A = this chain, B = another copy of it.
Amino acid sequence: MKQKKSTVLLLTALTLFVSSCAINTVNRKAGILTIQQQGSFLVGGTTISEPGKFDLTNALKPQGQTLHGDHAYVFYQIPPKARNYPLVFLHGAAESKKTWESTPDGREGFQTIFLRRGYGVYLLDQPRRGEAGKSTVATTITPTPDEQFWFTQFRLGNYPDYFAGSQFPRDSASLTQFFRQMTPNTGAFDVSIVSNACSSLFNRIGAGILITHSQGGGAGWFTAIKNDNVKAVIAYEPFSSFVFPTGELPKPIQSTSLFGELKGVEVPVEDFTKLTKIPIILYYGDNIANQPTSVWNKDHWRAGLEMARLWAATINKHGGNAKVVHLPELGIKGNTHFAFSDLNNLEIADLMAKFLRENGLD
C-alpha cells in the first residue's frame, strides 16, 4: 500500500516535471519568449563644439555649447544561454530598425524569430535616421508623395498590380503599415558615418554577425573592413557601394533603373582582402530580370544582381567565400525586396540559419 502510494506520487511528480519541461521547450519555439537582458543605447558618432564659453545667463546662445550627433541607436535583446555570436541588423534606405520587427501584417519579424532561436539580437537605427536623428549636418525634409514609386521599386509589383504570386500580403492595412514604416533622413546619408557607428557597435559587443538590407549593404562591407569582430555578413539585396580592389573595378552596368548606371567603388586591396576572410552570403528575391528590359524595377535589380555576382566572383578569386543566392533558383518564388518580412519569412529565416550552421557560426 505504502509502495503504491509513493509510486502514484512519483508518477504525479514526474508528470508535472515532464510537462513543465515540455512547456519550456514549446516556449522557445512559439509561445513565451525568454529574455536575459534587454535595453538600448547610442553608439559611435561625433561631437561639434561651438567655440567660446557657455553663458548660463544667455543659455540659448551656441557659444561654448556642444552637439553630439551621427551616432547609431541600438535596441538589443539577449536570450538566456545565448549562442556565441549575436546578430546585428542594419536596415536599408528610407527604413529604420522597424524593418526587422513585426511584418506589415503583424507576424514576427527576424528580431523575434532569431531571438526565439537563441541568438542575441541588436537592431540599429543608423546615424541620421529614426531614433538616431541627431545629425551634425543640416537638412530639409519635404513631404513628397512617392509611395507608388516605392511599391514598384521594392518589387511588390508594378503599381497598382502586385506581381503574380507575390509574397507581400494583399490587404490594404498591410500596405499602409509598409508605407508608414518608411522614415526620412535627418541628415544626408553617408556610408562612412554609418559604417563608423556600426563598427563602434562591434567594438562594444565583440564578435558577431552583421545582417544588412539594401543600401545598408554598402555600409556592411565597410564595417567588415573596419572591424575584425564582424565574423560573417548576410546581405539581403545589397545594391550600392560594392567594393572592388584598386584596378579591378568592373565597367558600370547600364540599366533602365531610375537611379541610372550602377558603378562599383574602388578600395585599397588590403581593405578588400579583409572581406575574403569571412563567409558572406547575398540573397535576392523574385521578379528580377534575367536580361535587360524596359521594365525599370526588374532591370534595376537585374543590374544589382549582376554586380553582386561580379563582386562575389572577385571576392572568391582573392581566396574568399562569398555566395550569391537568387531565391527563385532554389524554388523560392514571389519574394519582394523585403524577403525577411514577406509571407514566407520563416523559410527565409531557415535559409539564414542554415548558412550560420554550415559555417560553424550558430
Which residues of A are interface residues toward B (Cβ below 8 A)? 2-3, 6-7, 9-10, 13-14, 16-17, 20-21, 27, 31-36, 38-42, 45, 48-50, 54, 56, 59-60, 62, 64-69, 71, 73, 75, 80, 96-98, 101-102, 106, 108-109, 112, 125, 129-149, 152-153, 158-160, 176-177, 179-184, 186-187, 258, 296
Contact = CB atoms under 8 A, between A and B. Distances in A.
Given A33-B34, A34-B32, A66-B145, A39 B101 contact: yes
Contacts of A56: 152, 158-159
A7 to B, nearest CB: 6
B101 A48 contact: no
Contacts of A48: 143, 145
10 contacts: A3-B3, A6-B10, A27-B34, A31-B36, A56-B152, A65-B148, A67-B146, A133-B186, A134-B143, A141-B141
A129 to B, nearest CB: 8
A91 to B, nearest CB: 10
A143 B147 contact: no
Nearest to A147: B66
Given A59-B153, A135-B184, A143-B187, 11 more contacts: A2-B3, A6-B6, A20-B21, A39-B109, A41-B102, A60-B146, A62-B144, A65-B147, A134-B184, A141-B141, A184-B186
